[in-house]
A and B are shown apart, each in its own frame.
Chain A
Amino acid sequence: MAKKVKPEELLQYDFKPPRQEWVDTPVELKPGTFCWGAKGKNLQTVGFPNARDWSPTEEDWKLPEDWQETILEGIADRLQKYRSFRLFMDVCVRCGACADKCHFYMGSGDPKNMPVLRAELLRSVYRRYFTTPGKLLGRWAGARELTPDVLKEWWYYFFQCTECRRCSVFCPYGIDQAEMTMMGRELLNLLGLNTDWIAGPVANCYMKGNHVGLEPQTITSNIEFMVEDIETVTGIQIEPSFNRKGAEILFVAPSGDFFAEPGTYTFMGYLMLFEELGLDYTLSTYASEGGNFGFFTSNEMAKRLNSKIYAEAKRLGVKWILGGECGHMWRVVHQYMDTWNGPADFLEEPVSPITGTKFENAKSTKMVHIAEFTADLIQHNKLKLDKSRNDHLRVTFHDSCNTARGMGILEEPRYIIRNVCNHFYEMPEETIREKTLCCGSGSGLNAGENLELRLRGGFPRANAVRYVREKYGVNMLANICAVDRAAMPTLMDYWVPGVGVTGVHELVANALVMKGEKERTADLRGMPLPGKDGEA
């Protein structure tokens, strides 16, 4: 396992391409860089085709007889449905501006991880079957046959892309490898070729309402534990409500936040903030997932999972929806939800009950990002904050790919952090905001069996964290994404030991002076506050 591989060994690569041309280089599935194949039962739960148990390491992938026609029909269908797909198949000039922008390429040197080549894997087949020069001239026109090896290559590399869109920022035509990967994965799913790390959460989310498969009673008891911890730290008892009709706001978070550290601290942060505000909100066990692994499967599956949020908001009769800190959840909410499952005409235009601010940017979708909500509270001076409670932390901020490049929520979290922390340091500008580097585990890649891939993909981000750690002594990496919170601790331990990972609302809760709280001596993690442990 990669854990045992030393960082020095993982860094034995360079950006020199091999001698052999890429079309002549068959795919080699390297252990530690791919996930296990989707189990039959998980595909069956959501009615996906070719549901069976299979293993990527075996020669036979148990494809249906007519797999080639299925793929070609699938391509034809999607060319007609998506202008992005059709256009991005045609207009690339291979200028190479994207080549060294992908974190997987930057961390592995594998040339097929240059976004341009990852797209050519698909484009070459498109040319062969859908363009005249490709049909007539074959390889001379950059075309190639669709063979089982090509299919395996697709599977291997389309699950080595986190759909982070960094390449599309630099492309002169805005060609977006995330779109290519989404199309590629849709095609693969027509043959039952998913990974189980994605298919499992999809099945869970469909049946139980969240990726991790928590049943209703487990959600409530998990949150009860958090409530106890909050009482220990603050002396304040909180009673969150679940599935409550008539609440003003439905709060939806990524389920990772009520399941594992350090996401749970972020969730405690939400609860404490809402308690202090006296917010009339409820949580849902049915729509208990903001994230959407369907988005890493197919458009249809993503829509099926996403439908629960509006359905539950309607059933409970809330006025609007507030969403927690999550990356791809917000790509979906911001750019897809209203189109899929709207119009949300049963909801009202979101207005902050505390400040009266109308969130006009969310007046149709009716869902507000918690960083927008909290930034507004702070700007209106509605929170009493003691920054010094975060003085033991030297914080940097990692922009999540999806919120940065599929939404543009850049200043809100920074504004919050500056108001709750005294020590905030930015990473180099080439690695933040729209140029932010992915954690390497997004889009359903945060499994265990592909740890080497994740460590490689996360290396560019870790490299930037190391820079601020050495320069400013940074010891905490803040973010607004549940996958970051799940994946980054491993990444930091490996590449930059001594740096922790936190959600922004954990920092808020630490600084938040609550009415009637006892004197705080520890932060949410139980770590002694500065000056409270006799050390200063």
Chain B
Amino acid sequence: MKILYPLLGVLALVLLAYAGVAGAHLNVLFGIVVPYLAFLLFLVGFMVRVITWGRSPVPFRIPTTCGQQKSLPWIKQNRLENPSSALGVVGRMALEVLLFRSLFRNLKTEKRGDRLAYGSAKWLWLGGLVFHWSFLIIVLRHLRLFMEPVPVLIMQLANLDSFLQIGVPLFYITDGLILAALTYLFLRRVLVPQIRYISLQADYFPLFLFLGIAASGVLMRYVWKVDIVAVKALTMSLVTLRPEVPLAIGAIFYIHLFLVSAVFAYFPLSKLMHMGGVFLSPTRNMINNSRSVRHLNPWNYPVQVHTYEAYEAEFRAKMKKAGLPLETE
């Protein structure tokens, strides 16, 4: 059920878009209203979530240190895994965000008889990295639909992505990679018993959404080709805030667009917010200098303590007998 319902949900979205456009001809709704609404939800929702996180203070300096601290000058510090400066933190975060440093560390623990053994486990790192980087490149490539003239950098990126020069239109490598990576991430969730055990519907739903988006995009480009000029007319009208009722574009385009809208609307409510959250994680983005620079807790308050005077009052006789110095004889 955890897998079936999210799958049915995504299929329902596909059917809804198809019926809405091919059947009811609600092109304005699916081409203009829904995308605008979804984008608005995304922007507002994303900001609300990040601001909510940001409003909770970080009362203590709690980096997880993953290397040698800065202490004595002759001991080699690990500046990236245990940063003692802002620059070090920037480096640590860059490694984390761009290269998934922590996932790269992953190990597999196996029980062999009466022993535990550890093996390398880089597949999750690779699958995750391929998915996220492909996704980013695809999003950047799509900017050509929203800009006129198209910046050279975007064109170069698209050229680079299709440098294999296969087929007409040219095949984008990232199209293949993202489908492969998503398939891997899905299969892993289903086939690894522990991962299936911890998975929620909220883990399968975005996977199916992204699979649907990638698949519909691929179909639209290579199989049921749509009029790219008409698509660009629509997208340009959307970004220039002069939306026009689109000319006839194939239903597959509206399915693609509707699924993208669904991701936008769903994003702030979901685990996809890790995109913003990763930057705020106190165990990663803090300098490990808590003994050299005092960290302030905005809600630090006085607490009840047991004073030395109270202690001496209770144990005075015993302390005297033991020859301990006293404040009050």
Contacts and interface: CB of A to CB of B under 8 A. Distances in A.
B324 A220 contact: yes
B282 A101 contact: no
Nearest to B314: A207
Contacts of A96: 124, 192, 194-195, 198
Interface string B241-284: 00000000000000000000000000001110110011011111
A415 B71 CA distance: 13
A172 to B, nearest CB: 5
Interface stretch (B18-26, B152-160, B174-182, B296-304): B296-304
Contacts of B54: 83
Nearest to A124: B200
Interface stretch (A8-16, A250-258, A478-486): A8-16
B50 to A, nearest CB: 10
Nearest to B197: A17
Contacts of B282: 83-84, 87, 174
A132 B52 CA distance: 14
Given A90-B49, A100-B109, A339 B300 contact: yes
Contact of A83 (B102, B280, B289): B280
A83 B202 contact: no
A228 interface: no
B294 A117 contact: no
Interface stretch (B29-37, B55-63, B210-218, B229-237): B55-63
A208 B299 CA distance: 29
B300 A340 contact: yes
A408 B67 contact: yes
A424 B5 CA distance: 57
A142 B202 contact: yes
Nearest to B96: A172
Contact of A311 (B5, B61, B305): B305
A245 B319 CA distance: 15
Nearest to B2: A21
Interface in A113-166: 114, 116-117, 120, 131-133, 140-142, 165
Nearest to B52: A86
Contacts of A356: none
A interface, by DSSP: helix, strand, loop or mixed? helix
A388 interface: no
Interface stretch (A31-39, A260-268, A299-307): A299-307
A15 B111 contact: yes
Interface stretch (A54-62, A364-372, A525-533): A364-372
Contacts of B96: 172, 174
B100 interface: yes
Nearest to B114: A11
Nearest to B72: A376
B27 interface: no
B128 interface: yes
Contacts of B53: 83, 86-87, 90
B190 to A, nearest CB: 12
A244 B58 contact: no
Interface in B283-329: 283-284, 288-297, 299-300, 303-308, 311-312, 314-315, 318-319, 321-325
Contacts of A506: none
B124 A97 contact: yes
Interface string A159-185: 000000100111111111001000000
Contact of B109 (A87, A106, A120, A408): A106
A243 B318 CA distance: 14
Contacts of B72: 357, 372, 375-376, 379, 412
A405 B65 contact: yes
A81 B59 contact: yes
A174 B319 contact: no
Given A169-B105, A408-B82, A311 B307 contact: yes
B107 A81 contact: no
Given A94-B199, A99-B194, A82 B56 contact: yes
Q: How large is the interface on A (under 10, 10 to 19, 20 to 34, 35 or more residues)?
A: 35 or more
A176 to B, nearest CB: 5
B162 interface: no
Nearest to B271: A93
Contacts of B164: none
Interface string B61-80: 11011111111101110100
Top 3 nearest A-B pairs (CB, nearest first) are: A408-B69, A91-B277, A408-B65
Interface of A: 7-8, 11, 13-17, 21-22, 47, 79-87, 90-97, 99-101, 106, 109, 111, 114, 116-117, 120, 131-133, 140-142, 165, 168-176, 179, 206-209, 215-217, 220-221, 242-245, 285-286, 299-300, 303-304, 307-308, 311-312, 315, 333-336, 338-340, 342-343, 357, 359-365, 367, 372, 375-376, 379, 404-412, 415, 428, 430-431, 433-435, 459-460, 463, 466
Interface of B: 5, 49, 52-62, 64-72, 74-76, 78, 81-82, 84, 96, 100, 102-103, 105-109, 111, 114-116, 118, 124, 128, 192-203, 269-271, 273-274, 277-278, 280-284, 288-297, 299-300, 303-308, 311-312, 314-315, 318-319, 321-325
26 contacts: A15-B109, A47-B304, A83-B57, A85-B56, A86-B52, A97-B103, A99-B195, A141-B202, A165-B64, A169-B105, A172-B274, A175-B283, A207-B306, A304-B305, A315-B308, A339-B297, A342-B294, A357-B72, A361-B84, A365-B294, A372-B71, A405-B64, A408-B65, A408-B66, A411-B68, A412-B72
Given A85-B56, A172-B103, 12 more contacts: A7-B114, A92-B271, A94-B203, A97-B102, A97-B106, A117-B197, A172-B96, A172-B274, A299-B59, A307-B303, A379-B74, A410-B67
